């Protein structure tokens, strides 16, 4: 006589199926949310590259038909094909791998101690093509022109800011002039720390609108290169002068 098969525990199978599905979903979510790899290798002057005048046109011709997600990789390939040193190509690829996906070329570098200054050209940006990064600290890269790094709460507590904001309700904060290399002022802080002071401008709304003020923001690091945070140095009003009195 044939043996009867044991009864199937439907509840147990349901729980097992649910557990497996939950694990798969959690794994997929973790992979999707994983941050881009940081700049783990130190940035050095070896990554500096200043391309010739015809490079950008050649790169656009080679890459403009690429899918947007592949454009940065194509651009970095064109850098290598046009004589960029390997560290320069690696630096561009690392910037492209970050969450904002903005490819950049290291145009100059200043050794400032534990934390250094990288001057970057962003060929794909519409407006602000020149930028500045603080590198080799912790975190390994800080974009000083990323609004997420700006101390907006502290700015709102400055009297001059509040006066300007009442006068210009649409006032916005923008990076200052980023051409050249002299706009960054590097200072030593007590106990071996570092400070980098950069200029910013206040505009009456859009990028092309009138400049109504100026701001200086400091980015502070401790002696080990850990980022302490940003600090408002000063806020100044610009562009509105009193008319001279007329004597009769």
CA distances 36 to 28, 87, 101, 119, 137, Å, are: 16, 19, 9, 21, 17
Break the chain into its structural domains and give their ranges.
39-143, 144-240
Structure tokens at 74: 């194509």
b/e per residue, 169-178, with b = 16+ CB within 10 A? Answer: eebebbbbeb
Distance in angstroms (rounded) separating the CA atoms of residues 100 and 148: 12
b/e per residue, 7-25, with b = 16+ CB within 10 A? Answer: eeeeeeeeeeeeeeeeeee
In this prediction the pTM is 0.80
Going by their DSSP bridges, the two strands 172-175 and 141-143 should be labelled as unpaired
- In this prediction, residue 100 carries a pLDDT of 77
- In this prediction, residue 240 carries a pLDDT of 62
Q: Is 194 exposed, middle or buried (0-12, 13-18, 19+ CB in 10 A)?
A: buried
Residue ranges of the chain with per-residue pLDDT less than 70: 1-40, 240-248
- In this prediction, residue 246 carries a pLDDT of 55
The CA angle 12-15-16, to the nearest 5 degrees, is 85
- In this prediction, residue 15 carries a pLDDT of 47
- In this prediction, residue 128 carries a pLDDT of 83
């Amino acid at each position: 006589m044939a043996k009867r098969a044991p009864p199937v525990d439907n509840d147990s199978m349901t729980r097992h199926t649910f557990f497996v599905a939950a694990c798969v979903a959690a794994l997929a979510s973790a992979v999707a949310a994983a941050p881009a790899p940081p700049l783990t290798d130190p940035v050095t002057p070896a990554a500096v590259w200043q391309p010739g005048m015809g490079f950008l046109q050649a790169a656009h011709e080679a890459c403009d038909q690429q899918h947007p997600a592949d454009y940065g990789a194509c651009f970095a390939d064109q850098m290598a094909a046009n004589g960029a040193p390997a560290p320069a190509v690696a630096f561009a690829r690392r910037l492209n791998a970050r969450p904002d996906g903005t490819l950049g070329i290291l145009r100059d570098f200043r050794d400032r101690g534990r934390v250094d200054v990288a001057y970057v050209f962003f060929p794909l940006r519409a407006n602000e093509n020149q930028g500045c990064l603080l590198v080799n600290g912790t975190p390994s890269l800080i974009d000083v022109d990323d609004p997420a790094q700006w101390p907006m709460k502290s700015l709102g507590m400055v009297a001059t800011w509040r006066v300007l904001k009442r006068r210009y309700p649409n006032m916005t904060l923008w990076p200052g002039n980023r051409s050249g290399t002299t706009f960054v002022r590097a200072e030593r802080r007590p106990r071996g720390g570092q400070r980098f002071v950069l200029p910013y401008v206040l505009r009456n709304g859009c990028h092309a609108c009138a400049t109504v003020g100026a701001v200086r923001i400091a980015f502070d690091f401790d002696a080990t290169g850990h980022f302490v945070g940003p600090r408002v140095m000063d806020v100044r009003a610009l562009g509105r002068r009193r008319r001279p009195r007329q004597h009769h």
